[in-house]
Amino acid sequence: MLYAADDVMFSAGAVVFDTAGERVLTVVDMRSAEHKVHFPKGRVEAGETTEEAARREVEEEAGVVCCLWPKMMGVEVRESPAIGKTKVIYWYAASHVANSTQRLESHEQFSSKWVSIEDAAVLLSFEQDRRLLDICRAHLAI
């Protein structure tokens, strides 16, 4: 299928594991009434690689500096009627490096939380995030 460039929005995000590989970083979207739980992600800005965007979004939404692992974990393509575009999300696995002092997103919009991998499988609001977690676990042999 071919899409016109103006009809596609590119995003990137990461499943961030703690240094022990026992917990993952989740983000609670406080803007929605349901307080949806997902992995940090956001738009790729002009001139930015998907890797740079994933690291930036983790830092902005969750206040965490991460190191991406070498292999991309997945590419998600979905229709986003709210914005009238097809959304392409590049997903990476990453390791926690440090907590950041540069958190840019308002604490009123996002709340971050480290949860066990088992709890994440239950708490995540979207099936595609649970599938992504399974892919990361299989790849990382966790």
Per the DSSP assignment, residues forming a β-bridge with 115 are: 24
> Model's pTM, two decimal places?
0.89
Phi, psi dihedral angles at 51 (to 5 degrees): -65, -45
Encoding tokens for residue 57?
């979004």
Domains of the chain: 7-100+110-140 (3.90.79.10)
Query: Quick check: 104 pLDDT over 90?
Result: no
Nearest to 59 by CA among 94, 7, 83, 21: 94
Taking every pair of Cα atoms in the chain, the longest distance, rounded to a whole number of angstroms, is 43
- Mind giving me the DSSP string for 118-139? HHHHHH-S-HHHHHHHHHHHHH
Window from 17-31, 101-115, 117-131 with minimum mean pLDDT: 101-115
Checking if the pLDDT of 142 tops 80, the result is: no
For residue 12, what pLDDT band results from cuts at 50, 70 and 90? very high
Residue pair 123/38 in contact (Cβ under 8 Å)? The answer is no
* Cross-strand partners of 99: 64
Q: Please, what sign has the CA dihedral across residues 112, 117, 119, 124?
A: positive
